[in-house]
Amino acid sequence: MTTHGDPAARIAELSALIRHHDERYYGQDAPEVSDAEYDELVRELRALEAANPDLASPDSPTQRVGAAALGSTFAPVTHRVPMTSLDNAMDTDELTAWGERVAKGLGAAAAIVATGAALQLDLLREVPSSEPSDQPAAPVVPTARYVCELKIDGLAMSLRYEQGRFVQAATRGDGRVGEDVTANVATIVGLPHRLPPGAPEVVEVRGEVYMSLASFEALNERAAQAGQPRFANPRNAAAGSLRQKDPAVTASRELSFWCYQLGEVVGGPAFETHHETLEFLATLGFPVNPEIRVVDDLDGVYAFCRHWQEHRHDLAYEIDGAVAKVDDLAQREQLGFTSRAPRWAIAYKFPPEERTTLLRDIQVSVGRTGRATPFAVLEPVFVGGSTVGMATLHNQDQVRAKDVRPGDTVVVRKAGDVIPEVVGPVLGLRPEGLPAWEFPVQCPCALKSVLVRAEGEADTRCIEPGCPFQRDQRIIYFASRGAMDIEGLGERTVFQLSDAGLVADPADIYFLTVDQLLQLDGFAQMSAEKLVASIAGSRSRPLPRVLTALGVKGLGPSASESISVAFGTLDAVMAASEADLATTDGVGPTIAASIVRWFAQPVNREMIEKLRLAGVDFGNVVVSRLPQVLAGKAVVVTGSLEGFSRDEAAAAIKGRGGKSPGSVSAKTYAVVIGADPGASKVTKAADLGIPVLDEAGFVALLETGELPQTE
């Protein structure tokens, strides 16, 4: 039933929904909707209350923080200083509006202070109060500096220390009363149990308990091995870990903590700014996030938010936004609070990467190697910047571990350009009696061949070479950018060619004519001629591209390049033994065996001869003539360089005998840092003591192979 036409009924409906979701999120750590969907409900309720102030209630969810503590498992704790929530800005316009409210609030306060000072001056001059001052005060709008922080996706926590000893940890609860989780929080590594000499008599530290991505993956791996349900996300995992009755279980979850605010302080030093309080907390031994920045104006806040929206996945933990706070504590006093949040702070929320939607069906796709991959057919939902109607489920074991079923309400995640995936079901919304999904035993193609899962493998495969799904995907892969790079031969065209019976394997591409292409929808004379020319141009691709394009299981671009340099021609590769191939850098026995098996199949040999007949170059190896000054050295490039694109930088390293991996490890020789680098790579390089270079240092490294000398 919809109540959108009746404001009073809709307000009542929204209030009930929000209270329910508050209880599920704050009270039970079992949310039924994503943060973004919850925020939409709250924003709609606020808008209705603003438009209909006579219908707004003092006990509206918009006037409260969180949910009341459950109290059945953990004792209640009354916060001496309330733990407020933050108002949200969903875009730069709302962030600007907040900045304007701050300026207006500070301007009004300054005008009152200035007027009061003028009146005092008049009294000192013995000017009658009824007479105006000779120099009336003009309103002054002071500027505000801001502290920018990451919005950690975790659980708000208050830690209390008395006489330097850790005595209590409490959740936020409804902002006034939380739950006592002292024993569990005491297991968090990195939190001080005793403060250094000179610490305040009483100090409360506010911050966020979170679970790192590495700990989250390890937890879910252990759950899968034990046949237990996986956690949907690190935030839920952290919250569930804090609710364990046995602190030893919490300790095994490897939780972490960032502090961001002071609560009650007795006997502490006087502070003028927020960033001074953070520096003080660091001296006491509390973990303060290294990405916190002080900026001079709102433009600095914008830049901070933009940077971390683009680089949020460079971190070792999850964030869902950024927080801006007025730095000056006196200005904070002037601005004050609303009923639920400070006026001097705002949370800038990043676009949602998780939403809930209906799982309509689970189907299976078959790739070029016969791998059968389950995927979800969804009720379309906007997430991660685009509308998603399908999402990967990886493999049979993942479907079983996540226990998602057609008819479930599921959490869908899409992080940036990453392929959308189903995180898990919302069990509280599962229809009663919903049957579990079973992996099919037959390939969905017309041949209906049996799907086989080899012992020790996670993948299920169709082993019928004539499977039309495998055929089409092999051709698509052959023509793709990383392989033969045939412009204009995309998925849609391949399907058309296959359906028309014009191609049965990748070699058939080279025998296509303009007249044949003109029979297909969407082709005119010019586009047909252009595709034929593009196909002809691909005949001279270097051998590493040809090897990659064949689609041999496990044989990617890097191994193809090593094999090409080692053997020189495709015929030499075909004649090589497993032992010879396995000694090639980056190949090994598994890939070597896969190559030998592939070339042993008659259908593949037949295709190779068709490619030879079509004039594809089987011996074109590009050998670098550059000095091999980086031989055996791995150089990681992160960020944007002015003189090199990402591909050009990698090619420059490889052309000198080096390797250009995508991640930093103990074997990395150097890390080159450009503009907007990945924070996790920079941090790992620092942790491992790996030299870092700017672009000038990179150019010098390419010339000499040696690290620039430092003073």
Active-site hit among 151, 349, 681, 684: 151
For residues 128 and 194, give the distance between their C-alpha atoms in angstroms, rounded to a whole number. 60
CA 207 to chain centre: 22
What's phi and psi for 531, nearest 5 deg? -65, -40
Strand 692-693 and strand 668-673: the pairing is parallel
For residues 615 and 188, give the distance between their C-alpha atoms in angstroms, rounded to a whole number. 65
Give the number of C-alpha atoms closer than 13 A to the C-alpha of residue 115, restricted to the C-beta side. Answer: 9
Neighbours of 450 (CB within 10 A): 10
Strand-pairing partners, residue 386, are 383
For residues 296 and 495, give the distance between their C-alpha atoms in angstroms, rounded to a whole number. 57
Position of tokens 């004379």? 525
**Are residues 73 and 395 in contact, defined by beta-carbon separation less than 8 angstroms?**
no
Strand 177-179 and strand 155-162: the pairing is unpaired
**Are residues 510 and 611 in contact, defined by beta-carbon separation less than 8 angstroms?**
yes
For residues 220 and 227, give the distance between their C-alpha atoms in angstroms, rounded to a whole number. 10
Position 368, amino acid: R
**Six token digits for residue 533:** 């020319």
Which one, of 211, 307, 219, 270, lies nearest residue 676 by Cα? 307
Question: Is 104 an active-site residue?
Answer: no
**Are residues 199 and 161 in contact, defined by beta-carbon separation less than 8 angstroms?**
yes
**Are residues 377 and 390 in contact, defined by beta-carbon separation less than 8 angstroms?**
yes
For residues 473 and 370, give the distance between their C-alpha atoms in angstroms, rounded to a whole number. 9
What's phi and psi for 660, nearest 5 deg? -125, 75
For residues 171 and 649, give the distance between their C-alpha atoms in angstroms, rounded to a whole number. 48
**Six token digits for residue 204:** 């409360």
DSSP string, 520-535: STT--HHHHHHHHHHH
Residue 645: partners with Cβ closer than 8 Å, 6 or more residues away: none
**Six token digits for residue 426:** 């919302």
| Torsion sign over Cα 410, 413, 414, 420 | negative
For residues 372 and 354, give the distance between their C-alpha atoms in angstroms, rounded to a whole number. 26
**Are residues 456 and 52 in contact, defined by beta-carbon separation less than 8 angstroms?**
no
For residues 20 and 41, give the distance between their C-alpha atoms in angstroms, rounded to a whole number. 12
What's phi and psi for 669, nearest 5 deg? -80, -40
CA 347 to chain centre: 18
**Are residues 556 and 588 in contact, defined by beta-carbon separation less than 8 angstroms?**
no
**Are residues 645 and 568 in contact, defined by beta-carbon separation less than 8 angstroms?**
no
Q: Phi-psi bin for 554: left (phi > 0), alpha (psi -120 to 50), beta?
A: left
For residues 510 and 515, give the distance between their C-alpha atoms in angstroms, rounded to a whole number. 14
For residues 45 and 39, give the distance between their C-alpha atoms in angstroms, rounded to a whole number. 10
Q: How buried is 101 (Cβ within 10 angstroms: 0-12 exposed, 13-18 middle, 19+ buried)?
A: middle
Which one, of 334, 303, 328, lies nearest residue 101 by Cα? 334
Active site residues: 151
